[in-house]
């Protein structure tokens, strides 16, 4: 069996989306992120993975580092994978601070096929699946833009959509 993988960057021409915020309550995103993933990407709780959470509780300026990843499947071959990393700090007395949110969205199609299946797969791809994959790509792109807008709404910021 051979595996063919097609990956597209949903934040093109940039490598990743970076959102910066300075102001009151930057840590509030931590409590909201799970619901944002579930609402925007229409996922169940089991599809949202919190890979890492670290924080420093020894000083007044408490720094934190959180990483999530989600996978939204469109069909048996295609999915969108989103990795979100948040680095920030918040003063425990003034509740002021800043964060940097990095969003890395990737559109992935992965096909396992044997030698004889390869020919039939490419015929199927050019006749039907290519059009469906393009439609799914634009749907995934709009989900990423909606996700960014929801983060902006949380902090009262206006963020530009990716093209």
> Which among 102, 85, 105 is positioned nearest to 12, based on CA atoms?
105
> Which among 64, 62, 38 is positioned nearest to 49, based on CA atoms?
38
Q: How far apart are CA 107 and CA 28, in angstroms?
A: 28
Q: What is the pTM of this model?
A: 0.89
Note the pLDDT of residue 104: 96
In a domain, 119, yes or no: yes
Which run of H or E residues covers position 26? none
Note the pLDDT of residue 163: 65
In a domain, 21, yes or no: yes
For the purposes of burial, counting CB atoms within 10 Å of the CB of 148, is it exposed (0-12), middle (13-18) or buried (19 or more)?
A: buried
Note the pLDDT of residue 99: 93
Number of domains in the chain: 1
pLDDT digit string (tens) for the chain, length 163 residues: 688 899 999 988 888 999 999 999 988 888 888 889 999 999 988 888 999 988 887 888 889 999 999 999 999 999 999 999 999 999 989 999 999 999 999 999 998 888 888 888 888 989 999 999 999 999 999 999 999 999 988 888 777 776 6
In a domain, 12, yes or no: yes
Q: What is the DSSP letter of 34?
A: H
pLDDT tens digit sequence for 4-25: 899 999 988 888 999 999 999 9
Q: How far apart are CA 8 and CA 145, in angstroms?
A: 16
Phi, psi of 39 (to 5 degrees): -75, -45
Q: Whole domain around residue 53: which residue ranges?
A: 2-155
Residues 104 and 16: beta-carbon distance below 8 Å? yes
Q: How far apart are CA 126 and CA 45, in angstroms?
A: 35
In a domain, 10, yes or no: yes
In a domain, 125, yes or no: yes
In a domain, 163, yes or no: no
Note the pLDDT of residue 137: 95
In a domain, 160, yes or no: no
Q: How far apart are CA 70 and CA 47, in angstroms?
A: 6
């Amino acid at each position: 069996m051979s595996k063919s993988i097609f990956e597209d960057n949903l934040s093109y021409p940039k490598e990743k989306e970076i959102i910066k915020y300075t102001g009151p309550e930057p840590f509030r995103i931590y409590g909201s992120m799970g619901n944002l993933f579930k609402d925007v990407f229409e996922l169940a709780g089991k599809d949202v993975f919190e890979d890492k959470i670290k924080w420093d509780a020894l000083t007044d300026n408490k720094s934190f580092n959180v990483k999530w990843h989600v996978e939204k499947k469109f069909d048996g071959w295609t999915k969108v994978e989103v990795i979100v990393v948040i680095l920030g700090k918040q003063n425990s007395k003034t509740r002021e601070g800043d964060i940097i949110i990095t969003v890395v969205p990737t559109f992935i199609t992965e096909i396992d096929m044997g030698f004889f299946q390869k020919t039939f797969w490419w015929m199927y791809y050019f006749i039907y699946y290519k059009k469906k994959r393009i439609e799914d790509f634009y749907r995934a792109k709009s989900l990423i833009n909606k996700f960014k807008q929801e983060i902006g709404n949380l902090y009262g910021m206006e963020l530009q959509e990716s093209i």
